[in-house]
Amino acid sequence: MSGSLYQVRAYNVNHSCDVSGFLEAYRCMLQKAVDEVWGRIRWVERRQKNYYLVRQKGKKKIKKCYYVKRLIPRIPSEGSFKHHYLRNLLLKEWNYSKHYVDSAIKQAYSILKSWRKNYLKGRRSRRKPKVKKRFVRIKETLYSYRNGKIRVSIKPYEEYLEFDISKAWFWSRVPKDAEMGELILNKKHLTITFRFKQAKAEPKDMIAWDCNEKSLDGFNPKIGWIKIDLTGLFHTHRVYELKRKRLQSLASKKPSLRRILTKYSNREKNKVRDFLHKLTTFLAKEFKEHIHGFESLKKETMFNRSKTHNRNVAKSDWKTTVMLMSYKSSIKFLNPHNSTKECSRCGELNEALKGASYKCKFCGLKINRQLNASINLYLQMEGLSPSPKLFDELMKGWSGFTQTGEKANEDSNEPKRSPRLMNPKRNIPAVMFRYVSQNPFPKIFGSSKT
């Protein structure tokens, strides 16, 4: 162990206080701050270079470019505007504690910076963001904590809210050296954040993960092929998709069904979130001294004219998985380009293959397609290029390796395999978060050895 890092945990406390008027006043002030900053944005014209691919018969794709003029937003950051003009303007119609104005200004800039980032990537238009949700971010100067009770100031010396968390369900889980951070108040509950230092472990090894629709496939030469079954997660998305489909055609005629649709959407979101939290916690604890490599995937670049394919891609939770792993363990983003097409043994590119097996027409390698992608990503993490010699070295210490998923063929031109052949066991209950590694005696977590 060397160094340290901060970990943040958040817990919700339900309340029955009537804060609807206060929340609506804060939402209006936040929208006004966004409007004022939006009116001061300068649009600078810039020349941008865009690329496209041209296909030619019998030749490789040619990369060409063209130039376009684009307007780039410049958000005002002058202290005279931010801390004086804007603050004084918002205080004129604000009847509550003054520190909420500072929170609103900070949040307005955060909203516009997020919009600008997505606008530059082509995900947002030149429309002004609108504040719809009613919630308040409470700074540390706006509340006090004593004897297990949090007192939040609404109006100085006149009105405040008090929350007793001494007997809350999460209190035993909070470390003693944790510091209480920002609070978030909405109509139903108060979100409390705690920050504490956590010892940082020096990563000793790497695992590369290939993200698929129904599985998460990892590779490490010492551990082997790690396969996490995600069919349960995919099934959850599919079940609620069918439930909504039945009601959507009737919701236009019967408006009361819209609340049921919202209930199903929230229930699906909560179940998926719970599943991914447990999964990422399991991976972070089981492989705590490893750097986890994930593909930098973008769903918007994967859609095509197939409805079935587009819906399956939309059901995937790759980005959420990586986001949750980012604060539980060390991660590294990898380039997914040609990770499936490239042969992990000779490095040659083959045509995109469908199904479970991958066969290289150059070196004759037969291997599981998802495992092939995992090995390529692992080599990318190590900064190595595929070669037959390197492939044989990687597989030398990995006993129990089955390349084809089939019975051994003595006449095959595959590299030598160990006498004991084993395939990763599929259909493992995903709720148990068990994995099967390709070793002579696979370790199945949550059950006895077989």
Report the SS3 class of residue 441: coil
Query: First-to-last CA distance in the chain?
Result: 35
Residue 192 is predicted with a pLDDT of 95
User: Taking Cα atoms as reference points, which of 99, 94, 110, 91 lies closest to residue 152?
Assistant: 99
Cβ atoms of 209 and 377 within 8 Å: the answer is: yes
Tokens of 256: 């009361």
Indicate if 157 and 211 belong to the same structural domain: no
**Predicted local distance difference test score (pLDDT) of residue 399:** 44
Provide mean pLDDT across the span 4-8.
Answer: 73
Residue 285 lies in a domain: yes
- Of the listed ranges 149-153, 161-165, 265-269, 284-288, the one predicted with least confidence: 284-288
Contact 53, 62 (CB under 8 A): yes
In what helix (H) or strand (E) does residue 376 lie, and over which residues does it extend?
helix 369-382
Residue 32 maps to a domain: yes
Residue finishing a domain among 114, 133, 152:
133
* pLDDT-derived band at 159, boundaries 50, 70, 90: very high
Q: Please state whether beta strands 189-199 and 357-359 pair in parallel, antiparallel, or not at all (unpaired).
A: unpaired
The predicted model gives 418-442 an average pLDDT of 36
Query: Sign of torsion, CA 415 418 422 424?
Result: negative
Domain final residue, candidates 199, 218, 245: 199
Looking at the predicted structure, is the pLDDT value of residue 272 above 90?
Answer: yes
Per-residue pLDDT for 436 more than 70?
no
**Please, what is the average pLDDT of the chain?**
83
Q: Are 295 and 211 in contact (CB under 8 A)?
A: yes
Residues 299 and 163 in one domain: no
- Residue that the structure tokens 């995109």 belong to: 352
pLDDT of residue 367: 87
Does 201 have pLDDT greater than 80?
Answer: no
pLDDT at 412: 36
**Residues 194, 320: one domain?**
no
pTM of the model: 0.71
Burial 338-356 (b: 16+ CB within 10 A, else e): ebbbbbbbbbeebeeeeee
DSSP state, residue 362: T
Domain boundary at 133, 167, 190, which?
133
Same domain as 407, residue 291:
yes
Residue 302 predicted with pLDDT over 80 = yes
Residue 58's pLDDT is 61
Task: Find which of 214-218, 220-224, 415-419 is predicted with most confidence, using mean pLDDT.
Answer: 214-218
Domain annotation covers residue 162: yes
- Does residue 249 sit in the same domain as residue 391? yes
Per-residue pLDDT band for 200 (boundaries 50, 70, 90) equals low
| Residue 448 included in any domain | no
58: left (phi over 0), alpha (psi -120 to 50) or beta: left
Contacts of 255 (CB under 8 A, 6+ apart): none
Residue 48: give the domain boundaries: 22-133
Same domain, residue pair 373 and 266: yes
Residues 183 and 97 in one domain: no
Using CA atoms, how far apart are residues 427 and 433, in angstroms rounded to an integer? 12
pLDDT of residue 176: 83
Band (pLDDT 50/70/90 cuts) for residue 37 is very high
Domain assignment of residue 443, yes or no: no
Query: Is 12's pLDDT higher than 80?
Result: yes
Say whether both 334 and 423 belong to one domain: yes
- The whole-number pLDDT of residue 51 equals 80
pLDDT of residue 417: 36
In the chain, how many domains are there? 3
Tell me if 440 sits within 8 A of 400, measured CB to CB. yes
pLDDT at site 333: 94
Residues 163, 256, single domain; the answer is no
Tokens read off for 365: 């390698």
- Mean pLDDT calculated for residue range 211-236: 89
Query: Looking at residue 312, what is its pLDDT?
Result: 86
Instruction: Determine contact, residues 424/411, Cβ cutoff 8 Å.
Output: no
Tell me the sheet residues that pair with 70.
46
| Average pLDDT over every residue of 263-287 | 92
- Position 342 pLDDT exceeds 70: yes
> Is the C-alpha dihedral spanning 291, 378, 212, 51 positive or negative?
positive
Do 300 and 267 share a structural domain? yes
Q: Please give the share of the chain, as a percent, with pLDDT higher than 90.
A: 45
Q: Where does the pLDDT of residue 420 fall: very low under 50, low under 70, confident under 90, or very high at 90 and above?
A: very low
Q: Is 324 in the same domain as 371?
A: yes
Residues 7 and 193: beta-carbon distance below 8 Å: no
- Classify residue 446: in a domain, yes or no: no
Sole residue written with tokens 């954040």 = 193
The length of the chain, given as a count of residues: 450
**Same domain? 10 vs 72:** no
217 located within any domain: yes
CA distances from 101 to 7, 130, 159, 268 (A): 28, 18, 17, 36
Tell whether 445 is covered by a domain.
no
